[in-house]
């Protein structure tokens, strides 16, 4: 049986849902989190190696960037390599950056594509109430992308946009410490869900309350999954809606620390 693997990064569940959908169509496919894995070695030969991640600040999540630079591809120079990024409207440089980083490693990105999914960066805007409509639309959009991957289609990403890269690099310096703006209200019941769902282990509990370690990715999983809506960002998110992928519960997202889902 062919071996396949998908490395994913997910904050509110969209990318984990997509990775699971792709994995169902590939034989012997593992799903492995990029978030809490500091280094990974591909053991043996794989038929395909996939990367599924969101677009953050018009580029790669910082953890995904780090993972691509550290992953030991082993004997997989000839594997089919693909990347799919989810985004609200534009993928920016999120695919082109992946292609460039893989090129630095002597690898090539055979296929890159984006899928528009529910926009959920609550720090900047309220959540749409059209969850079912937008979820159905993204599920439909994923079908031809998954077919492409099954058929090992080729699709180039284009080059890195210099203006977007300038913006991304500027933001990258401040993202890890943006959690200094998080507040925890008295509504906190010490359930620990925020710590469980954080994809980069950025949250510790002290006296049952979350504290932030300042290597944040701004995935806002802690805000979105908090059942009491006790976590906010400065004075921006109070009164705004919350969103998590309707197919991914906090326990499944939290299991990303275990490494493999499939």
Question: pLDDT grade, residue 262 (50/70/90)?
Answer: very low
> pLDDT digit string (tens) for 43-101?
889 999 999 999 999 999 999 999 999 999 998 999 999 999 999 888 999 999 999 99
pLDDT of residue 35: 87
Task: Tell me: pLDDT of 2 over 90.
Answer: no
pLDDT of residue 15: 96
pLDDT level of residue 41 (50, 70, 90 thresholds)? confident
Q: Are residues 153 and 111 in contact, defined by beta-carbon separation less than 8 angstroms?
A: yes
Domains of the chain, each with CATH number or no CATH: 4-164 (3.40.50.360), 175-251 (3.30.70.20)
Q: What is the pLDDT of residues 3-17, one digit of tens each?
A: 999 999 999 999 999
Interval 148-156 mean pLDDT? 97
What pLDDT shows up at residue 38?
A: 63
CB 216 within 8 A of CB 188: no
- Percentage of the residues of the chain whose pLDDT score is greater than 90: 86
Whether the pTM exceeds 0.85: the reply is yes
Question: In degrees, to the nearest 5, what angle opens at C-alpha 254 toward C-alphas 252 and 257?
Answer: 115
Q: Rounded distance, CA 12 to CA 219, Å?
A: 7
Q: Which band of pLDDT confidence, cut at 50, 70 and 90, is reported for residue 261? A: very low
For residue 89, the model assigns a pLDDT of: 81
**In this predicted model, what pLDDT tens digit does every residue of 174-193 receive, in sequence order?**
999 999 999 999 999 999 99
Question: Does 260 score more than 70 pLDDT?
Answer: no
Mean pLDDT, rounded, of the chain: 93
Q: How far apart are CA 145 and CA 17, in angstroms?
A: 14
């Amino acid at each position: 049986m062919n071996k396949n693997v998908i490395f994913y990064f997910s904050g509110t569940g969209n990318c984990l849902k997509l990775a699971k959908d792709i994995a169902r169509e590939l034989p012997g496919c593992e799903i492995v989190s990029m978030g809490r894995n500091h280094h990974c070695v591909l053991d043996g030969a794989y038929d395909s190696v996939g990367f599924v991640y969101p677009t953050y600040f018009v580029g790669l999540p910082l953890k995904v960037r780090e993972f691509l630079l550290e992953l030991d591809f082993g004997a997989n120079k000839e594997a089919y390599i693909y990347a799919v990024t989810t985004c609200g409207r534009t993928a920016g440089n999120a695919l082109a950056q992946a292609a460039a980083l893989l090129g630095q490693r002597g690898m090539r990105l055979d296929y890159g594509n984006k899928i528009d999914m529910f926009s959920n960066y609550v720090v900047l805007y309220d959540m749409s109430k059209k969850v079912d409509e937008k979820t159905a639309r993204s599920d439909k959009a994923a079908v031809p992308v998954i077919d492409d991957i099954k058929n090992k289609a080729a699709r180039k990403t284009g080059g890195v946009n210099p203006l977007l890269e300038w913006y991304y690099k500027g933001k990258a310096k401040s993202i890890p410490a943006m959690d200094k703006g998080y507040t925890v209200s008295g509504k906190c019941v010490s359930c620990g869900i925020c710590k469980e769902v954080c994809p980069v282990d950025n949250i510790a509990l002290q006296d049952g309350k979350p504290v932030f370690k300042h290597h944040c990715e701004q995935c806002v999983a802690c805000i979105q999954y908090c059942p009491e809506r006790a976590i906010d960002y400065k004075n921006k998110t109070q009164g705004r809606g919350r969103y998590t992928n309707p197919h991914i519960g906090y326990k499944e997202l939290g299991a990303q620390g275990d490494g493999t889902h499939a």
